[in-house]
Amino acid sequence: MLPRFWRKIKYRYDLVGSYCENCGRSFYPPRNVCPNCRRKSNIREIRFGDCGKVISYSVVHDSENTRMRKPYIVAMIKLDDGPVITSQLVCSPDEVQTGMRVRKVFRKYGEEGESGIIYYGTKFVPADSE
């Protein structure tokens, strides 16, 4: 699994996606073909801004994902200048609500045991937090 993770580090560690110069639509994760323009796609890489708002979320209590400590919060976030991204929120379950403004941070997602790879990636915190 290491190369599978490693080769996408650029997009996981930061909000780097792509957009289509032909129609202006943006994508995260990046796409090589625009679903609007298909053969006429003109894809360029782009770094999105740090902020967005929560459009839905779930506090997960039971998950087969053994890397994650429960409960954790997954959310769909509409980036201010980009598409919707699925990520985790770093805050208390009591704090979170739909429409909440959030900002991206660099955080750990887990590790493969004591000697394996450490997974880092992008998470979000409430926009007004330190």
Partner 1 sequence: MRRVAIIGVGQSHFGELWDLSFRDIFLSAGVEALEDSGLEGKEIEAMFVGNMSSGRYLAQEHIAALIADYAGLAELNVPATRVEGADASGGLALRQAFMAVASGMHDIVIAAGVEKVTDVGSDAAMDILSSSADREWEWFVGANLPSLYAMMARMHMEKFGTGSEDLAGISIKNHRNATLNPKAQFRREISMDVALNSPFVAEPLRLFDCSPISDGAAAVILADETTAKEYTDKLVYLAACSQASDYLSLQNRTDPITMSAVVQASKIAYRQANVSPDEIDIAEIHDSFTIAELIAYEDLGFVEKGKGKEMVREGRTEISGELPVNTSGGLKACGHAIGATGIRQAVEIALQLRGDAGKRQVEAEKGLALNIGGTGATAVVSIFEVA
**Residue number, 4 or 39, with CB nearest to partner 1:** 4
Q: How far is the CB of 21 from partner 1 (least distance, A)?
A: 19
Q: Which residues bind partner 1 (CB under 8 A)?
A: 4, 8, 29, 55-66, 68, 72, 74-76, 83-88, 93, 98, 109, 119, 121, 123
HSE-CB for 112 with a 13 A CA cutoff: 7
Q: How far is the CB of 60 from partner 1 (least distance, A)?
A: 5
**Residue number, 119 or 126, with CB nearest to partner 1:** 119
Please provide the distance, in angstroms rounded to a whole number, between the alpha carbons at the two ends of the chain: 34
Q: How far is the CB of 28 from partner 1 (least distance, A)?
A: 8
Beta bridge partners of 18: 27, 45
**Residue number, 94 or 130, with CB nearest to partner 1:** 94
Q: How far is the CB of 75 from partner 1 (least distance, A)?
A: 8
Q: What's the CA gap between 68 and 71, in Å, rounded?
A: 8
Q: What's the CA gap between 16 and 45, in Å, rounded?
A: 7
Beta bridge partners of 11: none
- The residue written with tokens 């996981």 in the block is 12
